[in-house]
Structure 1
């Protein structure tokens, strides 16, 4: 199964993420306003003659040092079956260490702060959100008078769906020589398709990626020239989506 970058888009979240993601993980950029262009600074307090940065008031504009407040992903998807744990990662950029997330329905989710195992320069503030019931909810972060929000859609799954997905995930399809998903995705070094990379992808789109082997308009190829396209029954497909949603978001500690 393929991973869609969370930006996590994926991520991975992720989401990505982790996870996340995944659920692709997320990165923010910054510029150095203090960099020089090699010019000479006069010692007598005079001007260098370059007035290109002078505005209409005769003064140099002061750059806005306040970073943009942003939440990734803008929309997330997960599930709830009353039995297993379903988590999705969120990242907030342009925020300090005291940043907190809130939900439009506090009874719908549990929210805990998290961190990437390998940030690689990512300065986002990460959180793992656990679904406690089905529905559509708003997840928000507010910092310094600024507020950003994201939508979390939690789909109700029958508890039996997971088992069907678990079985198909670990088994190949002999008539078409399709390998088990574990061939490429198992273990720490496996290709991530946990919520760290898939949190921003809807259930319907996850199913399309599995069944067609097409991601972002391009065919997914497995080493050896095998197309990433799996044969499933409708029950197995529902199960695979559920199974992937229930994976722990990869890459978080």
Structure 2
């Protein structure tokens, strides 16, 4: 099977690195020639292309790993092989998937996915097959999907090292992702930016601060798109978080130790269950 990964950044690069040695013919598309050369030197792709005009019509599975704003443009201008599968690894789904389905030919299957893994840094140099190991993988299913091809995508996810594969609608995906992925990024950025910088903060941090702020080292172009194109669900998640923050804030102000303890007991119980 021929697989072409479009966009060899940290996610697309991780795909080609994870596919290495799995028995597939893997090709890459990226506007950066140096990136393509590095991927070829690493043995992760057979050949690289600066556009998909030559290789996409011959590809059995196309995985698009571009920014959300670029996915539709690529689909609109590409010529996909009849009977092939086209996928994307974008972190939000509902705002564009209906448009994508209208562009995809009837004889081409569209299966959007979301590997729940990544790195704070951007670019092929920070890609790694290891980020997929034991990670979660989401498949977005729509009403016209072929069940057998969905199963093949599940099988591929397992070969790439993902531990859990879930199938859900684009709307369910965007709602839960607003909480599990986007809200933590909002919190990390706000925490970093709330530093008064009165002290040399780095001299006084421990593991908790390091863990909480790891994702504050953020790709501003990508995450701005993700936040704004999922604002309905993200704002809802922020409101739920603010409600819990206000409960703790009031308990601290009122010296209400019982409320604080109950908050701690509930979070401990939920974390252990998770």
| Common fold: TM-score over 0.5 | no
- Into which bin does the TM-score normalised by the smaller protein fall? under 0.3
The answer to which structure has the higher strand fraction is 1
Larger fraction in helix = 2
State which structure, 1 or 2, has the greater radius of gyration over its C-alpha atoms.
1
| TM-score, reference length from structure 2 | 0.24
Normalising by structure 1, report the TM-score. Answer: 0.25
Higher relative contact order (CA 8 A, sep 6+): 1
